[in-house]
C-alpha cells in the first residue's frame, strides 16, 4: 500500500474525467485519475469514436453505389471485409486512447489503473486486476464514472447473438439480418451503419416515433430516406422478450394490434444507458444524493457532499461527450478554487446518420407552442452549389427566429450537418442576431452558405430560391 495526497482526484477517464484532469492540472493542481478499464471511456472505446469509424466505412461503401454517376467505373462490385474494417476501427481507437495517455503524461497527471472506490473522507482505494491495491487522499474528488448500456429486464437478453453498444464492434462478419430494439440515437446510427454494410435491418421502437427529441420534419425526412434504403422501422412496438427459433433470434413484440414477432440473425439492444455507479457505494452509504439513478449535482457540478463533484453520463446532463467534457471543465475550475456555473442553454446535438442530422435549441413544435411570434423557415440543399457539386442535396436547414432576431433553434439534415451546427451554436451563445449572421460574408462555394440562406429565407428575402417559397416566414 502506498499513500499520497492530491489536490484533485478523478474517478473515470472518459471524456468527462480526462478533460477535467487536464483542466485541473493546467490550473496548477496535483492531479490523479483512476481508470478501471480503458482510457477515453465509453466514447473512445465503444462509443463516439468506433461508431464514427465504422459509420465512415459504411458511408464510403454506400457512396460507391453512385460511383458510376461520377465517372468512376468499378470493375466489380465492392466486397466488404468485416475483419479489415474492424482492424481499421481498432487502429483509430488505439490512436485516440493512446493520445489520452500521452495527454495525461504531458500534463503531469498520475494515472492509476484499477477500480477506484471513494469514501466520504475523500480517500480513494484503487483495486488493480492483479489483486494488488493502493490508496491515496485528495482535497477534491470528481466522479466521472460514466454510463453503461441499460439491459432491459426481459427474457432472452443474455442469449447468443444478442448485442449492445459495448459488444457489437468486433463481429467476425456482417450479420445477414438484425433487429434493433430501440429507435433512439444508438439504434438509428447503428441501423444506418449495418444497412450500408449489407445487413437487413428492422428497428422496433415502442414510442410513436423514432428519435423522439428530433424536430418532427427532420425526423420524418430521415425515416423516409432510411425506408428507401430498405430499413424497416416499426413504431408503437414494445419488445417484450427474445427467444431462439430455427437457428435465429425471435423478438417478441406487443403492438396495438396484438403480439407479433420479428426474426433475425442478431439482435441489438439500444434502449438507453444507465449511470455507472461502480466504486461509489461508500458515498451512497454516506448519503450521496441521486435522482432517478443519476448523481444529483448543483450548477457548480458539486454533489450534496462538499468537495465531491460529479459530471458526464453519471449525472443528468445530455448524455453527450462534449457536454461531459464541458461539465468536467466546470468541475475542475471549481475544484481548483474558482466559482463557475455550468450552462445547458446551448447544446449542439449531432447524429451521425447519412445524411447527418444536427440541431441546437428548440424544435418547431415547441416554438409553435411557446413562441407564436417566432419566424420559422427552411432552406433546401438543392439550392446550394457546394451541395449540388458533391451530390448531396437531400435535406434542408431550418431556423427558428425569435422576436428580437435571436436564434431560438436550428435544425440541419444534410451533408456535414454535425460540423455546420457550430455556427448557429456560436451565434446563440454569443447572442448574435440574424442581421449579424446575414451581414457575415460566407465563403463560396461552401455548405455554410445554406445557413445564411436559411436566415435570409426566414427574413423573406432568400437569394437562391424564389422569395415566394419563403412564404412561411411571413406567417
Ligand atoms: P464514460 O465515457 O462512460 O467514461 C467513464 C469511465 O469511467 C469509463 O472508462 C469507466 O471504465 C470508468 N470507471 C467507471 N467506474 C470506475 C471506477 N469505479 N474506477 C475507475 N474507473 C471507473 N456522444 C457524443 O457526444 N457524440 C457521439 O457521437 C456519441 N456517440 C456514441 C455512440 C455510442 C455507441 C455510445 C454508446 C455513446 C455515444 N456517445 C456520443 C455518448 C458518449 O459516449 C458519452 O456521453 C460519454 O462517453 C460520457 O462520458 P463520461 O466521461 O461521462 O463517461
Ligand atoms: P435513447 O434513450 O436515445 O433511445 C432508446 C430508445 O429505445 C427510446 O426511443 C425508447 O423508447 C426505446 N425503447 C426502450 N425500451 C424499448 C422496448 N422494450 N422496445 C422498443 N423500444 C424501446 O438511448 P440510446 O439510443 O440507447 O442512446 C443512449 C445515449 O447515448 C443517448 O441518449 C445519447 O445521448 C448517447 N448517444 C449519442 C450519440 C450522438 O450524439 N451522436 C450517438 C449514440 C449515443
Spatial strand order in the sheet of 258-264: 238-245, 248-255, 258-264
312 and 366 in a single domain? The answer is no
* 265 CA distance to ligand 2 middle (Å): 21
**What is the pLDDT at residue 467?**
79
Q: Establish how many alpha carbons lie within 13 A of residue 398's alpha carbon, considering only the half-sphere containing its beta carbon.
A: 25
* 146 CA distance to ligand 1 middle (Å): 5
* 20 CA distance to ligand 2 middle (Å): 26
Catalytic residue list contains 444 = yes
124 and 198 in a single domain? The answer is no
The secondary element (H helix, E strand) that includes residue 415 is none
114 lies in some domain: yes
343 lies in some domain: no
Q: Which residues of the chain register pLDDT less than 70?
A: 1-3, 468-475
Residue 212: CB within 6 Å of ligand 2?
A: yes
Question: In the listed set 301, 335, 369, which residue is the last one of a domain according to the structure?
Answer: 335
Angle among Cα 107, 109, 110 to the nearest 5 degrees reads 150
**What is the pLDDT at residue 472?**
52
Domain total in the chain? 3
Question: In the listed set 282, 312, 335, which residue is the last one of a domain according to the structure?
Answer: 335
Q: Name every protein residue with a CB atom under 6 angstroms from any ligand 1 atom.
A: 11-17, 34-38, 41-43, 47-48, 51, 115-116, 144-147, 165, 186, 276, 278-279, 312-314, 319-322, 324, 350, 352
* 221: nearest Cα among 126, 355, 130: 355
Ligand closest to Cα of 294 equals: 1
Please tell me the pTM assigned to this model.
0.97
Residue 394: CB within 6 Å of ligand 2?
A: no
124 lies in some domain: yes
The residue nearest atom 30 of ligand 2, judged by CA position, is 319
69 and 125 in a single domain? The answer is yes
Say if residues 202 and 179 touch (Cβ distance below 8 Å): yes
105 and 34 in a single domain? The answer is yes
- What residues does 357 pair with on adjacent strands? 351, 413
303 and 206 in a single domain? The answer is no
9 and 140 in a single domain? The answer is yes
For residue range 229-269, what is the model confidence (pLDDT) as tens digits? 999 999 999 999 999 999 999 999 999 999 999 999 999 99
469 lies in some domain: no
Which value, to the nearest 10 degrees, does the dihedral of the CA atoms of residues 312, 315, 319, 323 take? -40
Q: What CATH number should be reported for the domain holding residue 233? A: 3.50.50.60
9 and 144 in a single domain? The answer is yes
- Which position among 300, 322, 444, 461 bears the catalytic label? 444
For residue range 396-436, what is the model confidence (pLDDT) as tens digits? 999 999 999 999 999 999 999 999 999 999 999 999 999 99
Range of the domain at 91: 4-148+274-335
299 and 415 in a single domain? The answer is no
Question: In the listed set 307, 335, 363, which residue is the last one of a domain according to the structure?
Answer: 335
Residue 133: exposure state from Cβ atoms within 10 A (0-12, 13-18, ≥19): middle
Which value, to the nearest 10 degrees, does the dihedral of the CA atoms of residues 403, 407, 408, 409 take? 140
Q: Establish how many alpha carbons lie within 13 A of residue 60's alpha carbon, considering only the half-sphere containing its beta carbon.
A: 10
Amino acid at each position: 500500500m502506498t499513500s499520497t495526497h492530491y489536490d484533485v482526484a478523478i474517478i473515470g477517464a472518459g471524456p468527462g474525467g480526462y478533460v477535467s484532469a487536464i483542466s485541473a492540472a493546467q490550473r496548477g493542481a496535483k492531479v490523479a485519475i483512476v481508470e478501471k478499464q480503458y482510457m477515453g471511456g465509453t466514447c473512445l472505446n465503444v462509443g463516439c469514436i468506433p461508431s464514427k469509424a465504422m459509420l465512415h466505412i459504411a458511408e464510403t461503401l454506400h457512396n460507391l453505389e453512385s460511383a458510376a454517376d461520377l465517372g468512376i467505373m468499378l470493375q466489380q462490385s465492392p466486397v466488404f471485409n468485416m475483419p479489415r474494417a474492424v482492424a481499421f476501427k481498432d487502429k483509430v481507437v488505439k490512436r485516440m486512447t493512446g493520445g489520452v495517455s500521452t495527454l495525461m503524461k504531458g500534463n503531469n497527471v498520475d494515472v492509476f489503473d484499477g477500480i477506484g472506490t471513494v469514501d466520504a473522507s475523500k480517500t480513494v482505494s484503487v483495486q488493480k486486476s492483479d489483486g494488488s491495491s493502493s490508496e491515496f487522499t485528495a482535497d477534491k474528488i470528481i466522479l466521472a464514472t460514466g454510463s453503461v448500456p441499460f439491459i432491459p429486464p426481459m427474457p432472452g437478453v443474455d442469449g447468443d447473438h444478442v448485442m449492445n453498444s459495448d459488444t457489437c464492434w468486433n463481429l467476425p462478419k456482417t450479420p445477414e439480418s438484425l433487429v434493433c430494439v430501440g429507435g433512439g440515437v444508438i439504434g438509428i446510427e447503428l441501423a444506418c451503419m449495418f444497412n450500408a454494410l449489407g445487413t437487413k435491418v428492422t428497428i422496433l421502437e415502442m414510442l410513436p416515433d423514432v428519435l423522439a427529441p428530433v424536430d418532427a420534419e427532420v425526423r420524418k425526412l430521415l425515416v423516409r430516406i432510411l425506408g428507401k434504403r430498405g430499413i424497416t422501422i416499426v413504431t408503437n412496438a414494445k419488445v417484450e422478450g427474445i427467444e431462439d427459433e430455427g437457428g435465429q433470434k425471435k423478438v417478441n413484440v406487443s403492438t396495438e394490434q396484438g403480439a407479433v414477432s420479428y426474426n433475425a440473425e442478431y439482435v441489438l439492444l439500444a434502449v438507453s444507458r444507465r449511470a455507472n455507479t461502480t466504486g461509489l457505494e461508500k458515498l451512497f452509504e454516506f448519503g450521496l444524493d441521486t435522482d432517478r439513478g443519476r448523481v444529483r449535482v448543483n450548477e457548480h457540478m458539486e454533489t450534496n457532499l462538499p468537495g465531491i463533484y460529479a459530471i458526464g453520463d453519471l449525472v443528468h446532463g445530455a448524455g453527450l461527450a462534449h457536454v461531459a467534457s464541458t461539465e468536467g471543465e466546470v468541475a475542475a475550475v471549481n475544484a481548483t478554487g474558482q466559482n463557475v456555473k455550468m450552462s445547458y442553454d446551448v447544446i449542439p446535438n449531432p447524429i451521425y446518420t447519412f445524411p447527418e442530422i444536427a440541431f441546437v435549441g428548440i424544435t418547431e413544435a415547441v416554438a409553435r407552442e411557446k413562441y407564436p411570434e417566432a419566424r420559422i423557415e427552411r432552406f433546401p440543399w438543392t439550392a446550394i452549389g457546394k451541395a449540388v457539386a458533391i451530390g448531396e442535396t437531400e435535406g434542408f436547414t431550418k431556423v427558428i427566429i425569435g422576436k428580437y432576431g435571436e436564434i431560438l433553434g436550428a435544425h440541419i439534415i444534410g451533408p456535414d450537418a454535425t460540423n455546420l451546427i457550430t455556427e448557429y451554436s456560436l451565434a446563440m451563445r454569443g447572442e448574435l442576431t440574424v442581421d449579424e449572421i446575414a451581414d457575415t460574408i460566407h465563403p463560396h462555394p461552401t455548405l455554410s452558405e445554406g445557413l445564411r440562406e436559411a436566415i435570409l429565407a426566414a427574413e423573406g428575402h432568400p437569394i437562391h430560391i424564389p422569395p415566394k417559397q419563403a412564404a412561411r416566414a411571413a406567417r
